[in-house]
Each structure stands twice: as C-alpha cells, then as structure tokens.
C-alpha cells in the first residue's frame, strides 16, 4: 500500500494542509446561507471552488480537501437533487481539485522546493448533513447500522475517483469513528486520515476521551494520520499530549477559536487567531493546517514557519 502522506513526511518533515474552504468561498463572494453549505457551490459556481483550491496551493498547501464535507445523498435529495446528479456533483468535487492541482503544478516556478500536492476527499460526520451544529456535540438519534448506511455510499463513490486519500473530518464521537474505521477495512488498499472535533483539552465533542478515540488509528492500517480539527486553538496542546504515545502521525487543523451558532448560521465569540505552529510541531503534530475562519495567509505562514523548524 503506497502511503503518499508518509512519502511527503519522509522527504520534507511535515505536511501543510489547506485552510477553511467555506471561509474562502465566502471571501470570494459565494452565498453559503444554505443547508448544503459549500456543497451548494458545487452545483452553482464550481469554478469558484477550483480557484480557491489554487489559492491554497499557491499559499503552500501540500494537500487540498474536496468540497464534499457537507455533501450527502440525503442532503442533496432535500435540495431537490436526485441520486444521479448527486453522484455527478461528488465526482465533480474531485475533478475540480485535480484540475486545480494540474494547473498549479504545470508552472515550473511552483515546483521549486515543493513535492506534488495530494487531494483528500472530505467526508464530514453525519451531523454535517443536519446543518444544526451537531458535528459539535454528536448527539444523533441513530445507531451504528444507520451510520454505516449513511457513510458507505459516499465513501464508495469517492474511493473510485482520483482522490489520493479520504479525510474523515470533524468526527464528534467514538462510535462514529469506529464505524468509519470498520468501513475502511473493506478497502484494504485505500487510506484516510481521521480527525475529531473536541470540546476541551481532553475530550471529543460527544464526551469520550480523545486519547481513546485517537488510539483507533494505531489499530488500523488504513488510517494514516489522526488528530483534531475545527477545535479552538487553545485546546490543541493538551490534546496533542493526550495522543503523544501513538505511532500514527498526528494531524492538527483548528478553527479560529470562535464558536458556531447554528440557528443564525454564523460564527460568534472572540477570534483567537493565534497559531503556535512550533509548539504543535514539538508536541508531535506533523500534518498542520487550518479549518473554519482560516485562509491562505494563515497557510502561507504555517509553511514558512515549518520550513524554519526543519531547516
């Protein structure tokens, strides 16, 4: 099994992820006030997604994530989008990332000191399709089998595309993580990273110990990185300490420190946009990027600092 992430880590000592896709789409004028969120743009302004991918590559991202976090067949159906069109939109999300990578990599100046970027097909939690903020608490009224039935079709489709790996993102509970790891066992030649939303420095959003959730990765050949995303930056150091004994590389891409108000479809609270990249690296993080409310300037800064660290 060819571990592309491990190749990047072995050659440069770190991997820079992209930043918030929805955040940057809004900065480009997209209207995301809809339950499909960034997946809506796939249907209405797909080339805008490609432009944002290119912005992140130019800023120094080694990995770009597709616009499928919010995409699900159930969500598309709610929006009047049938199964066939929904499948086409999910494939389009990967095609847009592929085209962005090809356009970026076709310039010789972009290849100086860089390795070929990877594409991660984003898979959000069940709660993302509900659009009620439940990816930040995980209190779903469904069980293990329903979670399998929800995730399997989208996984199967995205694994047939040119994406290099899957990104299980903002997973709020041990149960949902277990389901995703079990599903990956059906595809022994494919890989994913597993990233949790956390409510403090020791627990995932649903309440289980982050250490227990992250330990799933060491028991799976398909999970090639594990960590935290869409979590306030101040919790990251303690969370990394909780996972310090793992063999699997650690991934970190926090939000800006604000919190999501689902009823108003907005972020609120204090923007604590301080990202101590060196501290995260020293605590074991090797895949570092940003989530909601972060952008290309942040990613540019992350890459510059990581280059200084490994120099």
Taking only the tens place, the pLDDT of each residue in 126-180 is 998 887 888 888 999 899 999 999 999 999 999 999 999 999 999 999 999 999 9
pLDDT tens-digit map of 70-87: 888 888 888 888 999 999
pLDDT of residue 259: 58
What's the average model confidence in pLDDT over 42-54?
A: 93
CATH of the domain at 241: 3.20.20.330
pLDDT band with cut points at 50, 70 and 90 for residue 268? low
**DSSP type of residue 119:** E
Q: Which residues pair with 16 in a beta bridge?
A: 288
Q: Is the dihedral of CA 277, 281, 283, 288 positive or negative?
A: positive
Residue 267 has pLDDT above 60, yes or no: no
pLDDT of residue 263: 52
pLDDT of residue 270: 55
CA distance 306 to 311: 8
pLDDT of residue 237: 97
Q: Are 159 and 187 in contact (CB under 8 A)?
A: yes
What's the average model confidence in pLDDT over 60-66?
A: 98
pLDDT tens-digit map of 19-47: 999 889 989 887 777 666 677 788 889 99
pLDDT of residue 96: 98
Overall number of domains in the chain: 1
Residue 66 has pLDDT above 80, yes or no: yes
Residue 303 falls in which region: left (phi positive, over 0), alpha (psi -120 to 50) or beta: alpha
pLDDT of residue 136: 84
pLDDT tens-digit map of 83-112: 999 999 999 999 999 999 999 999 999 999
What's the average model confidence in pLDDT over 212-239?
A: 96
| CA–CA–CA angle 155, 161, 166 (5° rounding) | 45
Helix (H) or strand (E) holding 266: strand 266-268
Which residues constitute the domain of residue 271?
4-310
């Amino acid at each position: 099994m060819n571990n592309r992430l491990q190749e990047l880590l072995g050659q440069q000592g770190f991997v820079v992820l992209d930043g918030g896709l929805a955040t940057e789409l809004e900065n480009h004028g997209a209207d995301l006030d809809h339950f499909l969120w960034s997946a809506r743009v796939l249907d209405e302004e797909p080339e805008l997604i490609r432009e944002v991918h290119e912005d992140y590559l130019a800023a120094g991202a080694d990995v770009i994530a597709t616009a499928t976090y919010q995409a699900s067949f159930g969500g598309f159906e709610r929006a009047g989008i049938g199964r066939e069109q929904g499948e086409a939109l999910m494939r389009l999300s990967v095609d847009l990332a592929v085209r962005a990578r090809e356009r970026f990599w076709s310039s010789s100046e972009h290849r100086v000191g860089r390795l070929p970027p990877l594409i991660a097909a984003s898979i959000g939690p069940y709660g993302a399709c509900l659009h009620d903020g439940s990816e930040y608490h995980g209190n779903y009224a469904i069980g293990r089998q329903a979670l399998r039935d929800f995730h399997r079709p989208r996984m199967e489709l995205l694994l047939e595309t040119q994406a290099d790996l899957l990104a299980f993102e903002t997973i709020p509970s041990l149960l949902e993580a277990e389901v995703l790891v079990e599903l990956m066992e059906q595809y022994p030649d494919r890989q994913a990273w597993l990233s949790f939303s956390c409510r403090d420095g020791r627990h995932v959003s649903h309440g289980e110990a982050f250490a227990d959730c992250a330990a799933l990765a060491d028991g799976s050949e398909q999970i090639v990185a594990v960590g935290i995303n869409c979590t306030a930056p101040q919790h990251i150091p303690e969370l990394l300490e909780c996972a310090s004994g793992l063999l699997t590389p650690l991934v970190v891409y926090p939000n800006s420190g604000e919190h999501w108000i689902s009823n108003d479809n907005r972020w609120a609270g204090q923007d604590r946009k301080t990202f101590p990249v060196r501290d995260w690296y020293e605590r074991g993080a090797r895949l570092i990027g940003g989530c909601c409310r972060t952008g290309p300037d942040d990613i540019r800064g992350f890459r510059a600092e990581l280059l200084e660290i490994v120099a």
